[in-house]
A and B are shown apart, each in its own frame.
Chain A
Amino acid sequence: MTPSLMTRCRWILPLFLLMSFAVGCGDARMGVDRSAGAKIGGDSGTELAERQVLRRGNGAEPQSLDPHKSEGVPESNLQRDLYEGLTIEGPDGDVMPGAARSWDISDDGLVYIFHMRENARWSNGDPVTAHDFEYGLRRSVDPSTLSNYSIMLRPILNAEAIIAGELPPESLGVRAIDDLTLEIRLSGPTPYFLGVLNHSASYPVHRPTVEKYGDRWARPGRLVSNGAFRLRDWVMQSHIVLERNEYYWDNENTALDEVWYYPIENQSTELQRYRAHAIDMTSDLPFRQLAWIRSNLPEELVISEYLGIYYYGLNVTRAPFKDNPELRRALNLAIDREILTSQVTTAGEIPAYGFVPGTANYTQHVPEWAGWTQEQRVAEARRLYEAAGYSHEQPLRLQILYNTHENHRTIAVAISSMWKDTLGIDTELINEEWKVYLETRRTKQNTQVYRAGWIGDYNDAYNFLEIMHSESGLNDSGWRSERYDELLALAAQERDMARRAAYMNEAEQILLEDMPVIPVYFYVTKRLVKPWVGGYRSNIMDQIYSKDLHILKH
């Protein structure tokens, strides 16, 4: 062969690589050490950056920006910035006036009168009136809207019948008395009702826009919203850009001009984007890299309580758990939650000895065994296990069902080894893809133990106790207790907060004694937040409004 061809072409590959790097070097903004040297927040520590742009990692791509058609966490984060309910949540998680300036509640707790703000405006300048809320709430429960979370509005008079198609949407207990006064009638006193009003199912929508564009109104250039921000751009699977709504009634207190939301499902990917300074806040963290984060980015790591429970359900419609509360209690006692949360999950999750996380207006029921040492628990577990007819020679064989996920697998391995060590139970782990797992759980034909979890929709104990109501769509254990259902019904109708809490406490006690579910831990939120994001405050519902945040000079 001729050497000329070789010599001529030999430099092509290195040149190509060099070129690709050179293109990359062109932009100095990408430099990693942008924060080095510059003091965050200037000399005073509170100086604002010139560009008020926040970039948030947001988990999955939102299903919809129509507040009546979505339910997930990523959607709620966006909609909280776009829309404003009658109430909003303050930075610490307390209910505050939103589109309504104030309200009056009748003595029986059944009638709410909301006084609207005179200066509230939609993002196109139209005034926000009581009629908008009347339209929005009716639309939300109207079966033809195809909302799958309208059940949130069940406390409102006639809502349940409208959702079921038995009454027309106009019969909903919501009425605009005039432009600035809205009346809402409830079917029973609901102490958490003001909290329901900042859920997306109760957000208002702009009637002319919805009527003009039908199903396709929630898009850039069309969507009109009444929150602190409005929609500027939406590139599916890439980003959603919100910009300041200058008509917002509290616009002067909004610091951010733009909020960029990035759908990044993979948590390791999100971490890398954060480390490369492409986002300012993550939505979650990869559980396997927590140790690295703790030692390398300790000041940016934010961990706080989250209103949710991770639990194991036991199928009580079949052997071995049918009519066998001793065995159910034995399995519960044999789990060492301290070890599980400190050595396995490690983010600071709270060991759960009851079923209800720390919610407002409620004191959790603390069972007796919560105060025991793990040795005492194990001894009692062995006694119950043997009483149920099992022993080391004749061990119980169990299957744990979980949906495919690294965390669930690790936890199932840990729990099954605790059961093996203390009681000698032989466990088989079964993982199924999400939708298959849901169906298996629901049919109750093959499941014995299944992994489950629930994040509260509103800050109230009822939200959690309701899971185990015999008619609940979440009760896949098949457990039913008449007394339990009765106590929940009493709690739903009770106006006196102390008595209501007592009913719920008794219900929780029944649940923990009969043990159709084994509480494992209460969730925490874990995320990284850049030091220049000001105004960030954790709260139990993890509702972070972008309007409360600002960017410090850096």
Chain B
Amino acid sequence: MVTLTINGEQHELDVPDEMPLLWVIRDVVGLTGTKFGCGLALCGCCTMHIDGQAMRTCVLPASYAIGKKITTIEGLSPDSSSALQKAWIAEQVPQCGYCQSGQLMAASALLAKNPRPSDADIDQAMTNICRCGTYESIRAAIRRAAASADQALR
């Protein structure tokens, strides 16, 4: 048995310790917002926050997350109200949308560390793959979210 805290809720799960967190959360817990893209931590579709750090969970054993706080896209905000999610809508970022859960989780971790990232900071931090090529819109949405957070502070 593995006990995991996912989006603030405790789950007791009968899964092997080494089962990747992605598959525990998708197939066993039933939260399917986080996606599978490569299985080698290369594409970022499976990005979640573990104690606030963006991590690629397709290669992360479930046991790693025991006692840690796991946040998935479903837990990013209760009602899609985070500055990033609003910015994603305002910029109409998603096309097929499959990578966007991971993109949002990566962007959210970036802004938590660096609330006013430069374009170079964004390019360096955002290595998630998008085959629809929404990169320019993602950059714009991150800048928009950063600016709206600035606005909120003033």
Tell me if chain B binds chain A.
no
Which residues of B line the A interface, CB within 8 A?
Answer: none
